[in-house]
Amino acid sequence: MATNLGGLTATGTVRVHRLVRGFGSRAVLDGFDLEIGSGEFVALLGRSGSGKSTLLRALAGLDSDADGSGMIDVPEKSSVVFQDARLLPWQRVLDNVVLGLRRSNAHERGLAALAEVGLAGRENAWPNELSGGEQQRVALARALVSEPELLLADEPFGALDALTRLRMHDLLRELYARHRPTVLLVTHDVDEAVTLADRVLLLDSGRIAVDLTIDLPAQRSHRQPQFLAYRETLLRALGVNHSEG
């Protein structure tokens, strides 16, 4: 499992070397290598079943159901966000945010995190009183309240409607600009990857088929010619026909 190299790497750096992960006789990742610099925002694209979640779960240490070997070096302070918010329904919003936070000022930090995600004043609500988008905001607050050096996100906006998804993109970019964690975002959505990330990886048959640096300003528009060029490169690599994409 996670091997700490004892200060050899910069805070926030992710290193994966010769990672093997599979289920039964089937290898999903077979000798996989990856390096992500501290503070990089990386999106991971790939067809369904290409192993994106398998990789993310390995980095999160949540893959006890998988077989494998290899070296994983991730920051000690990591948080994970999933497609569903996974809030405890019997705990109020603030209690969900500070769950597991062992600090004397947990209450204040939880309130500050809720304010950062636009939910000031909602700390006493129950999860089922919130919309899907608001629940994902709580999940983001819970992930960030511990000030992680690495944020792992597995299709965090996949279940949201298009407008809410765009608002969440703005929020995530804002939070990233403020806190600068290393981010690995798994997504199916090429536009989401190019909008949010500074580097896009495309996983194919257990290896990185494309490693694309996104050289765009923080304020991005789907109308920028360079945005469209990145989009086209990635769609082509995914094998998506133009008329479909």
Ligand X SMILES: Nc1ncnc2c1ncn2[C@@H]1O[C@H](COP(=O)(O)OP(=O)(O)OP(=O)(O)O)[C@@H](O)[C@H]1O
Closer CB to ligand X, residue 67 or residue 95?
67
- CB of 218: closest distance to ligand X in angstroms? 27
Closer CB to ligand X, residue 46 or residue 70?
46
What is the distance, to the nearest Å, from the Cα of residue 136 to the centroid of all Cα atoms in its chain?
13
Q: Is 173 exposed, middle or buried (0-12, 13-18, 19+ CB in 10 A)?
A: middle
Q: Round to whole Å and give the CA distance between 240 and 245.
A: 6
- Contact range with ligand X by CB under 6 A, out of 41-49, 132-140, 170-178, 231-239: 41-49
64 near ligand X, rule: CB under 6 A: no
Q: Round to whole Å and give the CA distance between 21 and 103.
A: 36
50 near ligand X, rule: CB under 6 A: yes
- Contact range with ligand X by CB under 6 A, out of 49-57, 73-81, 90-98, 143-151: 49-57
Nearest to 67 by CA among 34, 16, 27: 27
Write out the binding residues for ligand X, residues 20-39 only, by CB under 6 A.
23, 28
- CB of 74: closest distance to ligand X in angstroms? 17
52 near ligand X, rule: CB under 6 A: yes
Location of structure tokens 């992500």? 36
The one-letter amino acid code at 57 reads R
53 near ligand X, rule: CB under 6 A: yes
Cβ contacts of 25 within 8 Å, gap of 6 or more: none
- CB of 50: closest distance to ligand X in angstroms? 4
187 near ligand X, rule: CB under 6 A: no
Q: Is the dihedral of CA 2, 66, 68, 56 positive or negative?
A: negative
156 near ligand X, rule: CB under 6 A: no
* Chain positions contacting ligand X, by CB under 6 A: 23, 28, 46, 48-54, 65, 188
